[in-house]
Amino acid sequence: MKKVYLLVCSCAIFTSMNCQTKDSLAVKSNTVASETIEINTAFPVISLLLNQLDDEKIVTKDWIAENWNTKVFNPYKKIRKEYPLQLTFEDSTYASPIPRKKVITSRYGWRNRRAHNGIDIDLITGDAVMTMFDGVVRYVNYHSGHGKTVVVRHFNGLETVYAHLSKQLVKVNDTVQKGQIIGKGGTTGNARGSHLHLEVLFQGIPIHPEYVFDFSNEENKVRNNEIWVTRRWTTAYRHNSKRKSNIELCTTEAEAIASKANETKVYTVRRGDTLSRISKKYNISIASLCKDNAIRKNSTLRIGQKLIVKQ
């Protein structure tokens, strides 16, 4: 009788252990199935991929939420920037901001003794103005100088500015798609004739739009999926708004560092040289030459004089 009792108890204990093992496996299986976690925020662009170890994770940067401010034009003013800047694009093309041929009437550069931090594209008042990429509208306001303005922040951190509009057709925090109409062209603000003033910003820094995008034809090409930007392409006085700059694209950090080292040259003044002639030779503004060499526009150049030329 004792042997039968012991046999029954042993079977019961084995069955209980077996059930616990199955329950444990079920819990482990559920844990593995939930390794991928989606985090919903006001701007649904963050996702975390958790591996088996809690401390191993890949984080996608949330450019939309960074310094998000719908009240001011530049929310990055007090943040120190480090060069070179890195831009990355998933798209190889952009949507044209206007529905007609892109004719640039004024370029990024020094103009009327001040910085012109974008390009002016000819249009007719009332023409549709479209966003160049997907993004979120960060700023819709009347800006001094720019007039009615819309700023769209894109998911790679880049911002595009559309100014001198006659109508603004979006609101802040609106999600917009590439090629979506966001306003109508006009002449508001400090505009002489109807045109679109287009700026390209990264963390508040105005980048030469033609360094990043090709506006010369209707192919609407982004110059590369990875672009490195040196100070030369974020400093308006180094360029002339009346002439197209010579684009020397940096697609790696090494190229950008090498380019930075070659930006400063020393020019020796020769017979017949003028500031105008030197500025045309190196495709930089007279203002840039004067500032870098602490001279005035009407200064007399001497043969053999050394001038710093920053391209």
60 confidence band (pLDDT: 50, 70, 90): low
pLDDT greater than 80 at residue 164: yes
Please indicate whether the domains covering 85-260 and 264-310 agree at the CATH topology level: no
Question: Which residue ranges make up each domain of the chain?
Answer: 85-260, 264-310
Measure the CA–CA gap between 244 and 295, rounded to whole angstroms: 25
Nearest CA to 68 among 117, 131, 139?
Answer: 139
Residue 291, pLDDT > 70, answer yes
When the candidates are 3.10.350.10, 3.40.640.10, 3.40.1410.10, 3.30.930.10, the CATH number that belongs to 264-310 is 3.10.350.10
Give mean pLDDT, residues 29-56.
38
**261: pLDDT strictly greater than 80:** no
Q: Please tell me the predicted confidence (pLDDT) of residue 179.
A: 99
Asked whether the predicted pLDDT for residue 88 surpasses 80, the reply is: yes
> Quick one: pLDDT band at residue 162, thresholds 50, 70, 90?
very high
Q: What is the pTM of this model?
A: 0.72
The DSSP bridge partners found for residue 266 are 308
241, amino acid identity: S
Confidence tier at 45 by pLDDT (50, 70, 90): very low
Query: Over 80: is that where the pLDDT of 41 sits?
Result: no
CA gap 119, 211 in Å, rounded = 12
CATH number of the domain located at residue range(s) 85-260 in this protein: 2.70.70.10
- Residue 177 predicted with pLDDT over 70: yes
